[in-house]
Amino acid sequence: MTSTVPAPGTRTAEGSALQAVLLDMDGTLVDTEGFWWDVEVEIFAGLGHALDDSWRHVVVGGPMTRSAGFLIEATGADITLAELTVLLNDGFENRIGRALPLMPGAARLLAELYEHEIPTALVSASHRRIIDRVLTSLGPQHFALSIAGDEVSRTKPYPDPYLLAAAGLGVDPVRCAVVEDTATGVAAAEAAGCQVVAVPSVAPIAPAVRRTVVTSLEEVDLAFLRGLMTEMR
């Protein structure tokens, strides 16, 4: 996937029908935000450091370089960013190899989007090796493309991943619905001009213009997503 990022879209006179759905992965489709934190706690315990539980809200949803860098600086652990990145990916991959629970409503939503041939992309800050493992459980047929955090020069909270996904699908970002679970992901989607559905997983997210907050994916279906676009008119 090229890292050349198109400009954010703007509404046109062609209408505001839903053109595509762009979905985050960790904490949105799969119940894995806790996995990442458990792995981080485990690794730093092995390095002789205890992680403060309040840091969980700092590292959730962001790129690995940011979260890992923060934890190294906060603890003073004797490990490089490159070394920690390998340990984190290895630890997480081991966890999802044992169990990969889907979020409530995720399987039903993906099946509905696929049945109605709605262009859908998986957009994650996780690395490609992790996304490809998770896709085997989610069903790769449900996604026209996927964007990984290590495939873009700037990942979330920058808009680049969502702009690239929209460009790859050949759609206007403004006419895309994004489903996210963290403030970092929401910021990225909104900066790209997308309509956002927030399903908070770890930290609360407040409603805002172009942002609808729900408690579960079980509240989200195709009619709901199309309705968000209708409200834009």
Average pLDDT over residues 27-43: 89
How far apart CA 174 and CA 171 sit, in angstroms, is: 9
pTM of the model: 0.81
How far apart CA 10 and CA 165 sit, in angstroms, is: 16
Q: What pLDDT, on a 0 to 100 scale, did the predictor assign at position 202?
A: 82
Distances (CA, A) of 50 to 8, 38, 73, 169, 200: 41, 12, 13, 43, 26
Give the pLDDT confidence of 159-211 residue by residue, as tens digits: 999 999 999 999 999 999 999 999 999 999 999 999 999 999 888 999 999 99
In the predicted structure, residue 11 carries a pLDDT above the cut 60:
no
State the alpha helices, DSSP H only, in 9-150.
33-46, 56-59, 64-75, 81-98, 106-115, 128-138
Q: What percent of the chain has pLDDT over 90?
A: 72
CB proximity list for 185: less than 8 A, separation 6 or greater: 24, 28, 61, 125, 156, 157, 178
Give the pLDDT confidence of 120-172 residue by residue, as tens digits: 999 999 999 899 999 998 999 999 999 999 999 999 999 999 999 999 999 99
